[in-house]
Amino acid sequence: MSTDEEHAIQGTRIRREVLGNDHVDRAIANTTDFTAPFQDFITRYAWGDIWSRPGLSRADRSMITLAILATLRQEHELAMHVRAAVRNDLTPAQIQEVLLQVAVYAGVPAANRAFAIAAEVLENAT
């Protein structure tokens, strides 16, 4: 099996573990000829290569991802990754700390919106 094939298999497994089967199944079902190369790319490289590296735990990767998405104001992705962070065993208190860090380094408006999104996701998760 080639490295790309291995990354695709590993990426699919990790993507499902982190984001959940429902999300991945929806993404696959919504894949078109146009979006297929991108779905393949994120599965192989984001999930199969980067998220599988041994240097950081999944919880660490979730914290970094939350901070980046909040900073970039990527609201849809942020909500998805708040759910993923919970799947990766982050507590609401840890998510809160990440977003407070965002407020200091990326600005209060970015953190304000991120807190609102995270609060809604966390409220619906319980």
Q: Does 1 have pLDDT greater than 80?
A: no
CA distances in angstroms from 3 to 6, 45, 82, listed in the order given: 5, 11, 30
Question: Same domain for 44 and 70?
Answer: no
Query: What average pLDDT does range 52-58 have in this prediction?
Result: 96
Query: What average pLDDT does range 54-60 have in this prediction?
Result: 97
The whole-number pLDDT of residue 97 equals 98
**Mind giving me the DSSP string for the chain?**
--HHHHHHHHHHHHHHHHH-HHHHHHHHHT--TTTHHHHHHIIIIIIIIITT-TTS-HHHHHHHHHHHHHHHT-HHHHHHHHHHHHHTT--HHHHHHHHHHHHHHH-HHHHHHHHHHHHHHHHHH-
For the stretch 100-124, pLDDT in tens is 999 999 999 999 999 999 999 999 9
pTM (predicted TM-score) = 0.92
Question: Same domain for 43 and 70?
Answer: no
Q: Does 86 have pLDDT greater than 70?
A: yes
The whole-number pLDDT of residue 125 equals 83
Question: Same domain for 14 and 73?
Answer: no
Question: Same domain for 45 and 73?
Answer: no
The whole-number pLDDT of residue 126 equals 63
The CATH number given to whatever domain includes residue 79 is 1.20.1290.10
- Mean of per-residue pLDDT scores for the chain: 95
Q: Does 14 have pLDDT greater than 90?
A: yes
For the chain, what is the domain count?
2
Q: Which domain holds residue 76?
A: 58-125
Query: What average pLDDT does range 45-66 have in this prediction?
Result: 96
Structure tokens at 14: 């990790």
4: confidence class by pLDDT, cuts 50, 70, 90: confident
